Amino acid sequence: MARLPRLVIPHQTHYLSQQGHDRQQVFRDSDDYIAYLAWLREASRKFGVAIHAYALLPEQIDLLVTPLDEEGPGKMMQWIGRHYVPFFNRKYKRTGTLWSGRYQATVVEARAWFLECCRYMEMRPMLENAAAEPADYRWSSYAHHAGIQADPLLTDHPQYWQLGNTPFEREAAYRQMMEHGMSRAEIDRIAAAVRGGWPLGSKNFKHELEKQTNRPVAPARRGRPPSLPSLPSKKADDADK
C-alpha cells in the first residue's frame, strides 16, 4: 500500500520529528547544534514557518511549528538538510545519508495539546538521560519558556500567551507545569501520534480534518471486522413455541 503524503495544514500547529539514520548521532559537539539552529532560524523565515518550541537531541530533532502554507515545512527541512548534511559529512569525514528517511509531521489540535507537546518535547532530554533537569539542557526551548533566556528563533504560540498577562506570569506558570510533569498516558499518546504521523487531537478535530482534506486521519483497524451475532435457527424457534 502506498504511503500517504504528509498531512500539512496551513496555520495549524505541527509536531515535526526527524531521526538519525540507524539512530546514529546527528550532533556530536556544540558547534553542530549551533550550526543547525542558525540554519533553522534562516530557513524558518525564508519559508514562512514559525518555530514555537524545539529540542535537539544527539540522535534526533523535534520541532513545534506553524506554517503559512502546505509547502513550508517540507521546503524548510529540505533546505536545512542541503546545508547541514554536507557540513556534518565534511567535518567528520563521512559520506552518505544522515537522516533515517523522511521527517515525520503530526498536525496538533493546539487548544488541547500545544502545551502538552511543548512540555513533552522539552522533557525529552530527561527521558533520554541527556540531562537531569530541563534547565540543564542547552539545546531546547525550555530556557525561553521558563524565562531564563530569550530565544530569537522562537515565536510564542497563542496558547503559551494564555498562561498569563505578563511575561513573568507566563514563565512562572510554565515552570510550574513542568514541575508537575506528565502522565504516562499523555506521553504515550504524543509519542504514538508523532511516530505514526497521525493528527493529535479530539474526535471532532480529526473529523473536521477528514472533511477538509478528504483523506483518512487515523490508522485503519487491523484484523477481521467483528462478527455479527448469529440469528436463532428456525428449529430453535419452533422448540421455544
In a domain, 228, yes or no: no
Residue length of the chain = 241
* 197 neighbors 219 (Cβ within 8 angstroms): no
- Which grid coordinates are listed for 35? 550550526
Residue 96 lies inside a defined structural domain of this protein: yes
Q: Range of 106's domain?
A: 13-203
Domain membership of residue 227 (yes or no) is no
99-146 pLDDT per residue, tens: 988 899 999 999 999 999 999 999 999 988 899 999 999 999 999 999
Residue 225 lies in a domain: no
The reported pLDDT for the residue numbered 140 is 97
Is residue 4 situated within a structural domain? no
Residue 230 forms part of a structural domain: no
Angle between helical axes of 72-92 and 30-46 (0-180°, round to 10) = 150
Is residue 28 over pLDDT 90? yes
Tell whether the model's pLDDT for residue 223 goes beyond 60.
no
What proportion of the chain, given as a percentage, has pLDDT over 70? 89
Mean pLDDT of 52-75: 97
8 Å CB contact between 134 and 56: no
User: Rounded distance, CA 39 to CA 54, Å?
Assistant: 14
Q: In this structure, is residue 130 part of a structural domain? A: yes
| Domain count of the fold of the chain | 1
Confidence of residue 5 (pLDDT cuts 50, 70, 90): confident
CATH of the domain at 31: 3.30.70.1290
| Section 209-225 average pLDDT | 73
Q: How far apart are CA 12 and CA 158, in angstroms?
A: 12
Q: What is the pTM (predicted TM-score) of this model? A: 0.88
**Is 167 a member of any domain?**
yes
Give the other-Cβ count within 10 Å of 91's Cβ: 13
